[in-house]
């Protein structure tokens, strides 16, 4: 037993139905929609005149003369007549330029309110609580590093042995390579270290013990031995300290959310049928 | 912000918008953050001083719909959705960004796009309007025509209505200021105020990027200078001088794409002819301490025509050496000397010898000039010059014409470059000051760390312990100047680290330029230190090629050749104390795949043989100059 939807689909595929629908459309377009009283009234009142006047001033930086105003008003009336007749004939339909323009206007309207809204502290606090790690100040490492050279099995073994043999108060006994890599970092964040050595090294530092030499640790350059002297963890972020970041994120998301929601709410008023040819 | 401007355009009233933003800023507040400068620059900062968004007349026309806010978020390492709907995220954040939308018609294309159609009277503009609303292809066609018309000085009068555009420029500029200020975070990420002064003479590129040192209070007192009405470099310098005088602030200009100026960027004469005056030279040197040497539209270091003995000259010149920016004037070889940076540095020495002032004593940086709002110079993350060239299967071999004439193809565009700055802190003031003292370098994309010091008594064993501090104490860093000493030849400490997530280094070179006794310009490239020296013995004065591990089929390479770090103390073996000279460092990576190779893998393409699929990426430091004491 075909469902009513299947039936509708089948009917819609019928050439005769296409013909009838097309005919009805032609009839509708040619006969026009029934006129209504407001559509048939063109009022040039003060607000309209003011807007005509202002546009002129904006373009030409002087007020229009009375003759020019007359001309502009005649032009406004002409535009209105054409515009309304065009709408009555349905010329706005299936016009890509009109569609795009309308879409942009709708989009601008839906996002503008969010853009200009000032989020409340409660909203910002909620955003902060959702992902405190994103806004937290990073931990800070004060450390020494010795660069040993490119990664080779021999060098790895030597580094391991030297670390195992290291005596308290002294550094591992290993030949180091001089480079522009600083031997010492004071209060460096993981992102500072990642920029300098690569992500892998920064991760190793985050996991390394504090207060003794450890390694070998791999970086983009090769092998290192490191000693973390001090690790300072930041307290949880407070709203006051990260307000600007929170507002930026809130606003960025709010504008997109408003656009999306307004689209979805409008979409709910429609039945969307996608017919793929079989 | 983009949307507020859009709304404002709809409502045809901009004053309310500006007031609204001001208030917003006041409420948003933000604490005063004090960032301390270190004793000397400890960490190199990476950034882009040249990025366009939807507010640029051409970028919008080419299709981009992302504004300054998305650009700033992307540079800070956030994921954004590109105009064509692709997710984009930098593998590593940048440290700073200058949004440099074109001053001329700031927001003009967008305003045309957003205008009520009935208000557009000009037929040509109406046609462009309709083309732009057709979709991306039409939009790009419209843009090509607009650019071409601009190059021919044939833009419709309505688009040139100076008074009409002033208000719009001001509102876009204020919107831009608000976005930039929100994302500026001293100590962590610096967002600069700036714009591009797109000076063009008959399609010849004389563009400058303008970067402000200051905050919104000062910058809001001016609007970007539109080169449509003020069309010589003097005009932008006057604008800069007026700004500095009125506000007590600082601003600098960065010329770019000298390679598309058809010989006009670095002339030996006064612009328009006649001997260059000392006053002109002084003004230029004062306002333009840095030049952008590499970017998407080619590399301007040197051309094989000018440097026949330099086998690495000519990086990224293919396609760009044919004609000027708009492709409406072919290039002849006599123009190259006024187009490439190395030659300009030499010309500067000659001019200084003649009149006592060097107009071309500038430092070097790279930047993207991306028109997609995405500041990326990574080969595997290339979003193209403009939105039409965001990743797609056709872009590598498609014809790409800025004007409407022939000559350039997709693969001629480079995934280049970035600016490296040795600043003492990540703030507007510190980064600006480093640029002003030229302590900067340019990269074609990879983030190599390069140190360069010049002095009179550096010895091989100085490259030990805390040698960076010693470099600053006993010498001058890149961008600095040496004057005569009785201690013999100058010596240089040079050190290069590979990009920590990139390719190994092939070699480090020092490029020397000088004016000989007969007044001729000379240059020589010295291989200073290179990888695998035990196997690579110099022959005929040249170090043999490093080799090649690139697998084009998979767009990959291995670091089995080259070295992760290279360092050396070098003394000029041919030093003549009576001859003025400059020295800059060029660092070469081992060969790596270029962006078309990544496209070929991504889209299963078979590329024609002429397409560049691998290259040796590089960094160029600012020079150190030697000036003899007056005889």
Q: Is the previous residue joined to A135 through a cis bond, with omega within 30 degrees of 0?
A: no
Query: B294, B414 in Cβ contact below 8 A?
Result: yes
CA-closest candidate to residue B502, choices B558, B586, B422: B558
| pLDDT, position B30 | 45
Query: B250, B432 in Cβ contact below 8 A?
Result: yes
Res. B136: pLDDT tops 80: no
Query: B348, B360 in Cβ contact below 8 A?
Result: yes
Res. A25: pLDDT tops 70: no
For residue B418, give both structure tokens: 């970035």
SS3 at position A240: helix
| pLDDT, position A23 | 47
What are the b/e assignments for B596-614, b being 16+ CB within 10 Å?
bbbbbbeeebebeeebbbb
Res. A2: pLDDT tops 50: no
Res. B605: pLDDT tops 90: yes
Query: B80, B70 in Cβ contact below 8 A?
Result: yes
Q: What is the DSSP letter of A235?
A: P
Query: B518, B344 in Cβ contact below 8 A?
Result: no
**What is the C-alpha separation between B79 and A173, in angstroms, rounded?**
45
CA B471 vs CA A2, B467, B480, B486, B488: distances in Å? 86, 6, 12, 20, 18
A59/B164 Cβ within 8 A: yes
| pLDDT, position B63 | 77
User: Could you tell me which residues are beta bridge partners of residue B523?
Assistant: B513
Between B563 and B59, name the one with better pLDDT: B563
SS3 at position B561: coil
Residues of B in contact with A115 (CB under 8 A): 1, 3-4
Residues of A in contact with B133 (CB under 8 A): 96-97, 100-101
Q: Is the ipTM of this complex over 0.85?
A: no
pLDDT band at A31 (very low <50, low <70, confident <90, very high): very low
Q: Which of residues 208-227 of A touch B (CB under 8 A)?
A: 219-222
| pLDDT, position B189 | 97
Tell me the shortest Cα–Cα distance from B378 to chain A, in angstroms: 15
CB contact, 8 Å: A52 with chain B?
no
For residue A165, give both structure tokens: 């043999």
Mean pLDDT computed over every residue of chain B: 88
Beta-strand pair B481-483/B475-477 = unpaired
CA A127 vs CA A119, A131, B65: distances in Å? 11, 7, 27
* B interface test, pick of A138, A179, A222 with most B CB neighbours within 10 Å: A179
B424-465 tens-digit pLDDT: 999 999 999 999 999 999 999 999 999 999 999 899 888 888
pLDDT band at B575 (very low <50, low <70, confident <90, very high): very high
B19 exposure class (CB count in 10 Å sphere: 0-12, 13-18, 19+): exposed
A112/B7 Cβ within 8 A: yes
Res. A278: pLDDT tops 70: yes
Q: Is the previous residue joined to B353 through a cis bond, with omega within 30 degrees of 0?
A: no
| pLDDT, position A117 | 82
Residues of B in contact with A181 (CB under 8 A): 497, 565
Tell me the shortest Cα–Cα distance from B298 to chain A, in angstroms: 27
Q: Which long-range contacts (CB under 8 A, 24 or more apart) does B128-133 make?
A: B130/A97, B132/B61, B133/A96, B133/A97, B133/A100, B133/A101
Average pLDDT over residues A256-265: 87
Tell me the shortest Cα–Cα distance from B195 to chain A, in angstroms: 23
For residue B471, give both structure tokens: 């470099």
**What is the C-alpha separation between A172 and A145, in angstroms, rounded?**
11
User: Could you tell me which residues are beta bridge partners of residue A145?
Assistant: A226
CB contact, 8 Å: A248 with chain B?
yes
B10/A105 Cβ within 8 A: yes
Q: What percent of chain B has pLDDT over 70?
A: 88
User: Could you tell me which residues are beta bridge partners of residue B569?
Assistant: B493
**What is the C-alpha separation between A112 and A91, in angstroms, rounded?**
29
**What is the C-alpha separation between B612 and B315, in angstroms, rounded?**
11
Using CB atoms, pick whichever of B3, B24, B31 lies closest to residue A118: B24
Using CB atoms, pick whichever of A195, A240, A255 lies closest to residue B3: A255
Res. B22: pLDDT tops 50: no
CB contact, 8 Å: B182 with chain A?
yes
B519-561 tens-digit pLDDT: 999 999 999 999 999 999 999 889 999 999 999 999 999 999 9
A201/B500 Cβ within 8 A: yes
Residues of B in contact with A135 (CB under 8 A): none
Tell me the shortest Cα–Cα distance from A8 to chain B, in angstroms: 34
| pLDDT, position B535 | 95
Residues of B in contact with A97 (CB under 8 A): 117, 130, 133-134
| pLDDT, position A170 | 86
Q: Is the dihedral of CA B344, B349, B353, B358 positive or negative?
A: positive
B119/A55 Cβ within 8 A: yes
**What is the C-alpha separation between B75 and B90, in angstroms, rounded?**
7
Q: Which residue of B has its CA nearest to A255?
A: B3
Pinpoint the alpha helices (H) of B115-160.
123-134, 136-151
B415 exposure class (CB count in 10 Å sphere: 0-12, 13-18, 19+): buried
Residues 6+ apart with CB under 8 A from A49: A69, A73
Q: Which of residues 12-41 of A touch B (CB under 8 A)?
A: none
A78 exposure class (CB count in 10 Å sphere: 0-12, 13-18, 19+): exposed
Longest dimension (CA), chain B: 77
Residues 6+ apart with CB under 8 A from A31: none
Res. A29: pLDDT tops 50: no
Q: Which residue of A has its CA nearest to B164?
A: A59
* B interface test, pick of A77, A82, A95, A108 with most B CB neighbours within 10 Å: A108
Query: B197, B229 in Cβ contact below 8 A?
Result: no
For residue B237, give both structure tokens: 């310098």
B28/A180 Cβ within 8 A: no
B92/A244 Cβ within 8 A: no
For residue B356, give both structure tokens: 């006592």
CB contact, 8 Å: A267 with chain B?
no
B220-260 tens-digit pLDDT: 999 898 877 666 778 999 999 999 999 999 999 999 999 99
Query: B373, B52 in Cβ contact below 8 A?
Result: yes
**What is the C-alpha separation between B221 and B216, in angstroms, rounded?**
9
Tell me the shortest Cα–Cα distance from B357 to chain A, in angstroms: 34
Average pLDDT over residues A102-124: 81
**What is the C-alpha separation between B267 and B255, in angstroms, rounded?**
13
Residues of A in contact with B27 (CB under 8 A): 118
CA B146 vs CA B18, B230, B306: distances in Å? 29, 19, 34
CA-closest candidate to residue B587, choices B533, B510, B523: B510
- Structure-token match 């965001």, residue found: B390
CB contact, 8 Å: A201 with chain B?
yes
A181/B497 Cβ within 8 A: yes
Q: Which residue of B has its CA nearest to A110?
A: B3
B28/A244 Cβ within 8 A: yes
Residues 6+ apart with CB under 8 A from B474: B455, B457, B458
Average pLDDT over residues B79-106: 90
A56-83 tens-digit pLDDT: 776 666 788 888 888 889 988 988 898 8
- What DSSP letter does each residue of B449-510 carry, written as one string? EEEEEEES---GGGSSSSHHHHHHHHEEETT-EEE--SSSS-EEEEEEE--TTSPPEEEEEE
CB contact, 8 Å: A104 with chain B?
yes
Res. A159: pLDDT tops 80: yes
Q: What is the DSSP letter of B334?
A: G
Beta-strand pair B204-205/B200-201 = antiparallel
CA B49 vs CA A98, B99, B597: distances in Å? 38, 7, 27
- Structure-token match 């070929």, residue found: B600
Q: Which residue of B has its CA nearest to A196?
A: B500
Q: Which of residues 20-49 of B touch A (CB under 8 A)?
A: 20, 24, 27-31, 42-43, 46
| pLDDT, position B300 | 97
Q: How far apart are the first and last CA of chain B?
A: 60
CB contact, 8 Å: A81 with chain B?
no
Pinpoint the alpha helices (H) of chain A.
4-13, 15-31, 46-60, 66-88, 96-116, 121-130, 132-135, 153-165, 190-197, 199-207, 243-267
- Structure-token match 């002087």, residue found: A62
B210 exposure class (CB count in 10 Å sphere: 0-12, 13-18, 19+): buried
Res. B146: pLDDT tops 80: no
Instruction: Kindly report which listed range (A101-105, A206-210, B204-208) carries the lowest average pLDDT score.
Output: A101-105
User: How many Cβ atoms sit within 10 Å of the Cβ of residue B589?
Assistant: 27
* A interface test, pick of B158, B565, B569, B621 with most A CB neighbours within 10 Å: B565
Q: What percent of chain A has pLDDT over 70?
A: 83
pLDDT band at B364 (very low <50, low <70, confident <90, very high): very high
For residue B380, give both structure tokens: 């595997």
pLDDT band at B164 (very low <50, low <70, confident <90, very high): low
Alpha-carbon A170 to chain mean position? 52
| pLDDT, position B408 | 85
B182-202 tens-digit pLDDT: 999 999 999 999 999 988 777
Tell me the shortest Cα–Cα distance from B208 to chain A, in angstroms: 30
């Amino acid at each position: 037993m075909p469902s009513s939807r299947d039936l509708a689909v089948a009917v819609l595929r019928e050439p005769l139905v296409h013909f009838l629908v097309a005919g009805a459309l032609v009839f509708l377009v040619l006969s026009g929609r029934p006129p209504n009283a407001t559509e048939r009234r063109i009022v040039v009142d003060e607000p309209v005149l003011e807007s005509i006047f202002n546009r002129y001033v904006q373009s030409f930086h002087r007020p229009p003369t009375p003759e020019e105003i007359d001309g502009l008003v005649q032009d406004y009336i002409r535009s209105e007549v054409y515009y309304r007749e065009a709408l009555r004939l349905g010329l706005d339909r299936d016009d890509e330029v009109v569609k795009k323009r309308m879409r942009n206007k709708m989009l601008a309207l839906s996002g503008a309110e969010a853009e200009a809204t000032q989020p409340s502290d409660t909203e910002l606090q909620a955003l902060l609580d959702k992902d405190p790690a994103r806004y937290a100040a990073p931990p800070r490492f004060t450390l020494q590093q010795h660069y040993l050279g490119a990664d080779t099995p021999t060098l790895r073994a030597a580094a391991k042995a030297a670390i195992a043999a290291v005596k308290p108060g002294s550094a591992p006994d290993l030949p180091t390579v001089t480079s522009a890599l600083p031997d010492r970092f004071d209060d460096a964040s993981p992102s500072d270290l990642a920029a300098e050595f690569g992500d892998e090294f920064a991760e190793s530092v985050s996991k390394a013990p504090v207060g003794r030499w450890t390694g070998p640790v791999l970086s983009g350059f090769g092998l290192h031995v490191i000693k973390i002297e001090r690790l300072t963890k930041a307290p949880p972020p407070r709203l006051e300290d990260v307000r600007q970041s929170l507002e930026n994120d809130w606003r960025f998301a709010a504008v997109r959310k408003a656009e999306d929601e307004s689209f979805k709410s409008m979409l709910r008023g429609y039945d969307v049928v996608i017919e793929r040819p079989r | 912000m983009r949307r507020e401007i859009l709304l404002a355009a709809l409502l045809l009233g901009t004053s309310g918008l500006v007031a609204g933003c001001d208030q917003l800023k006041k409420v948003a507040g933000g604490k005063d953050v004090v960032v301390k400068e270190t004793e000397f620059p400890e960490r190199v900062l990476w950034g882009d001083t040249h990025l366009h968004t939807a507010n640029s007349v051409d970028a919008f026309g080419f299709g981009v719909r992302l504004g300054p806010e998305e650009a700033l978020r992307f540079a800070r390492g956030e994921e954004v959705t590109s105009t064509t709907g692709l997710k984009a995220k930098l593998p590593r954040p940048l440290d700073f960004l200058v949004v440099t939308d074109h001053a001329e018609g700031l927001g003009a294309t967008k305003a045309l796009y957003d205008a009520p159609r009935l208000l557009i009277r000009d037929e040509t503009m109406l046609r462009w309007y309709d083309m732009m609303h057709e979709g991306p292809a039409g939009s790009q066609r419209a843009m090509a025509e607009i650019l071409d018309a601009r190059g021919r000085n044939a833009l419709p009068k309505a688009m040139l209505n100076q008074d009409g555009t002033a208000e719009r420029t001001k509102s876009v500029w204020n919107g831009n200021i608000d976005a930039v200020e929100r994302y500026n975070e001293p100590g962590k990420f610096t967002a600069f105020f700036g714009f591009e002064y797109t000076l063009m003479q008959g399609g010849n590129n004389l563009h400058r990027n303008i970067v402000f040192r200051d905050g919104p209070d000062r910058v809001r007192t001016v609007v970007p200078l539109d080169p449509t009405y003020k069309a010589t470099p003097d005009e932008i310098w006057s604008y800069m001088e007026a700004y500095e005088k009125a506000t007590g602030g600082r601003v600098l200009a960065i010329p770019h794409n000298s390679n598309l100026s058809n010989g006009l960027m670095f002339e030996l004469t006064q612009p328009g002819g006649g001997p260059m005056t000392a006053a002109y030279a002084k003004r230029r040197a004062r306002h333009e301490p840095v030049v952008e040497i590499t970017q998407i539209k080619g590399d301007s270091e040197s051309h094989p025509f000018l440097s026949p003995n330099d086998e690495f000259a000519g990086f990224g010149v293919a396609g760009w050496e044919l004609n000027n920016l708009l492709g409406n004037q072919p290039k002849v070889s006599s123009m190259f000397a006024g187009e490439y940076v190395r030659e300009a540095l030499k010309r500067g020495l000659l001019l200084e010898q003649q009149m006592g002032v060097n107009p071309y004593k500038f430092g070097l940086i790279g930047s993207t000039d991306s028109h997609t709002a995405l500041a990326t110079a990574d080969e595997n993350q290339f979003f193209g010059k403009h939105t039409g060239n965001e990743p797609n299967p056709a872009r590598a071999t498609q014809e790409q014409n800025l004007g409407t004439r022939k000559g350039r193809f997709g693969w001629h565009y480079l995934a280049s470059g970035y600016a490296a700055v040795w600043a003492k802190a990540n703030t507007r003031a510190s980064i600006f000051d480093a640029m002003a003292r030229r302590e900067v370098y340019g990269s074609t994309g990879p983030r190599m760390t390069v140190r360069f010091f010049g002095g009179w008594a550096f010895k091989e064993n100085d490259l030990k312990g805390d040698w960076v501090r010693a470099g600053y104490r006993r010498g001058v860093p890149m961008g600095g100047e040496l004057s005569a000493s009785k201690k013999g030849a100058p010596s240089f400490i040079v050190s290069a680290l590979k990009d920590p997530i990139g390719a190994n280094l092939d070699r480090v070179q020092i490029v020397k330029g000088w004016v000989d006794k007969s007044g001729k310009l000379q240059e020589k490239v010295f291989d200073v230190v290179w990888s695998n020296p035990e196997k690579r013995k110099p022959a005929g004065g040249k170090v043999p090629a490093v080799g090649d591990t690139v697998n084009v089929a998979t767009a990959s390479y291995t670091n089995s050749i080259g070295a992760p770090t290279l360092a050396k103390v070098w003394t000029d073996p041919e030093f003549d104390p009576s001859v003025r000279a400059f020295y800059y460092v060029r660092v070469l990576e081992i060969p790596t795949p270029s962006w078309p190779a990544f496209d070929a893998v991504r889209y299963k393409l078979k590329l024609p043989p002429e397409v560049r699929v691998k290259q040796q990426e590089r960094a160029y430091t600012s020079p150190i100059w030697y000036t003899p004491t007056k005889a």
